[in-house]
Homo-oligomer: A and B are copies of this chain.
Amino acid sequence: LGATIKDVAKHSGLSVTTVSKFINGGNVLAENRAVLEKTIKRLGFEVNQVARGLKCNRSMMVGVIVPTFEGQFFMRMISNIENSLMRYGYSTIVCDCRQDLALEAEKIRLLYGKQVDGIILAPSPENAGTYRDVLGRGIAMVFVDTIVEGIACDAVVVDNRNAAQNAVSNLISRGHTRIGLISMDRTTRYTARERVAGYVAAHEAAGIPLHREYMREGPVSFDGGGAAMLRLLDEKPRVTACLVTNDEMTLGALNALHRGGLRIPQDISIIGFDLNEAARAFSPELSTVAQPLSQIGETAADILVRRMNKEKPSSEMLVQLKTELILRDSIRALS
């Protein structure tokens, strides 16, 4: 087992050239084709992509790097990236960086060694230099979820600002004026900033004064969300509604809420982020902003493949996908 092209040649009485031609879809005499098919099946031959990669300078592998596997967010994206890439013949090497920027840079170096043809990643501005290096090496790259300003790279994101603005406007339309915001503390990050901007825009559009105390940030985690909610609840007068801008913090915030004895939506209206089906496991079912994860993954994969095929000498594109505000029972109108 582990037959090579040479074995196939020997056993079929043909030359390696002909075998190679055959497995690459070239023209071969009908009778030879039959012999080859048989031999290949018999030997369990599978073309050695490593050797092919060395020769052709294309490994047919792409690296996907995300800051965390916690939460559903990146996972669902990766699932779709992997599936899309497979259709194009690419394999997906995953890297979980566990929120560690140095680790991210290191994993990118490792990917160089693996000769990946492309990289999809959720970038952090701190590693901008590393990303420039990737591009400089001529490796195709696509950003997802967020971008780094000043780096010319294709990117697939969602309409973060609208997403937050719609959610908050909806709360305002139900009579809420004291609305909390819990978001991720990486204020330098485009995505976080945009969501905050949407929150602000909704207030401005409605002529409602902004209260800095109602805008909380914290680390992207269960505990981060819980702590932020706790601090938010300390404010007097208390908020009557709150938007939490990512799934992990949403869960933590819910925990803090019921620990504090607050009922949803009687005491406070809540809109969370992502969570997909899990949002419907709560009672009352949770309203959320849903991101099109599958679409993000697919789109990123498509763009990357085109870049790797050098089909697009065109300029970089920023694809912005639409989110959906899913209204369920966790919000109520103020009487």
Contacts and interface: CB of A to CB of B under 8 A. Distances in A.
A118 interface: no
Interface residues of A, number: 57
A32 interface: no
A115 B49 contact: yes
A269 to B, nearest CB: 16
Nearest to A248: B277
A25 interface: no
A120 to B, nearest CB: 13
Given A46-B112, A69-B79, 13 more contacts: A1-B136, A1-B138, A44-B133, A48-B115, A50-B114, A51-B54, A54-B54, A69-B78, A79-B96, A79-B98, A86-B95, A251-B277, A251-B281
Interface stretch (A34-42, A155-163, A252-260): A252-260
Interface in A52-110: 53-54, 59, 61, 69-70, 72, 75-76, 78-79, 82-83, 86, 91-96, 98, 107, 109-110
Contacts of A6: none
A326 to B, nearest CB: 14
A190 to B, nearest CB: 25
A2 B137 contact: yes
Interface of A: 1-2, 44, 46-51, 53-54, 59, 61, 69-70, 72, 75-76, 78-79, 82-83, 86, 91-96, 98, 107, 109-110, 112-115, 133, 136-138, 222, 250-252, 254-255, 257-258, 277-278, 280-285
Contacts of A98: 79, 83
Chain A interface helix/strand/loop/mixed: helix
Contacts of A94: 78, 82, 92-94
A46 B109 contact: yes
Contacts of A95: 82, 86
Contacts of A69: 75-76, 78-79
A280 B222 CA distance: 10
Which residue, of A50, A83, A86, A98, has the highest number of chain B Cβ atoms within 10 A? A50
Given A48-B113, A113-B46, A251 B222 contact: no
Contact of A222 (B86, B257, B277): B277
Contacts of A252: 277, 281
A169 to B, nearest CB: 26
A78 B75 CA distance: 10
Contacts of A251: 277-278, 280-281
Contact of A53 (B50, B70, B109): B50
Nearest to A277: B222
A49 B281 CA distance: 46
A98 to B, nearest CB: 7
A133 B54 CA distance: 27
A50 B54 contact: yes
A151 to B, nearest CB: 17
Contacts of A92: 93-94
Given A69-B78, A78-B69, A110 B96 contact: no
Contact of A281 (B112, B282, B284): B282
